[in-house]
Chain A
């Protein structure tokens, strides 16, 4: 009896040891696989940066240079000296992104608060209609919106991009979800102190919404900053274009289409994204998973 149970224990221990060894081996294999994959993931950006520093006439030289050995910063200067108004693209992108993001922070937090915390007839029906519109692809509405903008004389103006972007169903949804989780006691306390809906929103609810507002800022900022379809349809003049549209449409004019100069322009637009991401990674990741998981 005693021996058989000892044998059983011994076998269990052996089995656990074997499974631990297997686990370690798998950890090691996972690290190797992820490492090789990560090298591949980074490769296009490394190539972009290395090429941006090569002499213009060596852009196509093989084998590709992965580490810059010479530092031809004049490729970066060439971006600004070319006929392409690169600086104007940047300012246009900043302008459009700023107004759209600010607008959404205001409209979405107000509507999100109302849908979560204020009672009014028709509230739930209106919210469902708003949610259903998340499924509408932008290509369906773009033709009528284009006709509206043409009537308003806003084609080839930044307002054609800003006005439709001032609110978003997604943002309302995100903020509503947050305000729903807020403790009701806080709002009750404010009401007893005589605060009306506006004061409860501004003084009590909004100061607590920091993380959700940060998430909305990041998502809206990134979507607007990277947008291509809308600008392609509404903007024609060179000096009105935003960065993704301008660089894509006019890359042939940058340094006579030299890959080195094109890559210098792309590097300058990608670098700030990388910097902001490394500094604010927590907000990025929370914003995206928050909207996904709790949605």
Chain B
């Protein structure tokens, strides 16, 4: 009796044996993830900040140079070019991917036969799963000026052969064109899931009141899928700012630097010029930009995203 009374309060206290065991298990369960993250993510971020303050070519020891790398960025004309390219790519590709994805989802969500829905969904989504490098290899042939499929069919419309990948003006739009073909299916799929969560009686009620399809879209569909819209914007923006694979395969950044992206420039500086300090500094600016834009989107999101 007496011993039971003594044991009872101990069992509910924080330091009870069971709680101890549970906490210990908790730490053991997260240990592999914790080790992986400190070694390959948290540690390297701190190291990258440190390296960005040095001159380091991996052969001789790193030399501390303060903010010189960051100052050098201000007077690097190539950096300005790759920044402008990356921002142009991001704004255009995000708008088109998310916009076209939304249109596709709304069309597929209409009352179509189930088999057709399945075929459309599969066809539009499939390129998302194929490695970007393979897509770029295929599209490189399609884009050829004299032997490519696009120019062949355009010639019937009286269009002169377009130098898709060899012309400063055309090269980024061409890469964006392929990017939308490759990725818009992802936005579509996310929108479809969002659309299917809208209860159909909302539409029925509005239709009985005689609302036009366009009003239905504007006043029911858009507000109710705004969280999905927001998710797509953030995901596509983060992805687009890191564009690399497709451009490496299609143009290797050319002609000149006309299609070089920020990540390609980081890669070139780090692994071809072995200027690890400068490359790290540029990478840090990319990190800061992604974080800032994500936070801005979350802030702005509060005013237009409608959660039910």
Q: Which residues of A contact B (CB under 8 A)?
A: 12, 15-16, 19, 22-23, 26-27, 30-31, 33-35, 37-38, 40-45, 47-48, 51, 60, 62-64, 106-108, 110-111, 113-115, 118-121, 123, 126, 129-130, 133, 135-148, 150, 163-164, 166-167, 169, 172, 196-198, 201, 222, 225-226, 228-229, 232-233, 243-245, 247-248, 251, 259, 262-263, 266, 269-270, 273-274, 277-278, 281, 284-285, 288-289, 292-293, 295
Contacts and interface: CB of A to CB of B under 8 A. Distances in A.
A19 B212 contact: yes
Given A41-B127, A229-B244, 9 more contacts: A22-B213, A38-B119, A120-B26, A143-B276, A144-B48, A233-B267, A269-B131, A293-B197, A295-B231
Majority secondary structure of chain A interface residues (helix, strand, loop or mixed):
helix
A62 B231 contact: no
B207 to A, nearest CB: 7
A130 B40 CA distance: 12
B194 interface: yes
Contact of A119 (B23, B32, B124, B213): B23
A126 B283 contact: no
B284 to A, nearest CB: 7
B41 A196 contact: no
Contacts of B210: 12, 15-16, 19
Nearest to A126: B30
Given A31-B112, A31-B116, A293-B194, A119 B26 contact: yes
Contact of B139 (A35, A40, A44): A44
Contacts of A292: 190, 193, 228, 231, 235
B29 A111 contact: yes
Contacts of A150: 58
A15 B136 CA distance: 50
Interface in B133-172: 133-139, 141-142, 144, 147, 149, 152
Among B116, B126, B238, residue most surrounded by chain A Cβ atoms (within 10 Å): B126
A31 B116 CA distance: 8
Contacts of B194: 293
Interface stretch (B5-13, B66-74, B87-95, B286-294): B286-294
A124 B104 CA distance: 39
Nearest to A109: B29
Contacts of A15: 210
B129 interface: yes
Given A118-B23, A137-B242, A263 B138 contact: yes
Contacts of A27: 110-112
Interface residues of B, number: 98
B111 A144 contact: no
A44 to B, nearest CB: 5
Given A289-B190, A292-B190, A143 B40 contact: no
A47 B149 contact: yes
Given A37-B104, A228-B132, A293 B231 contact: yes
Nearest to B123: A38
A118 B28 CA distance: 11
Interface string B93-115: 00000000000100110111000
Given A123-B26, A137-B287, A229-B244, A145 B138 contact: no
Contacts of B34: 111, 126
A118 B137 CA distance: 48
Nearest to B208: A16
A248 B284 contact: no
A110 B30 contact: yes
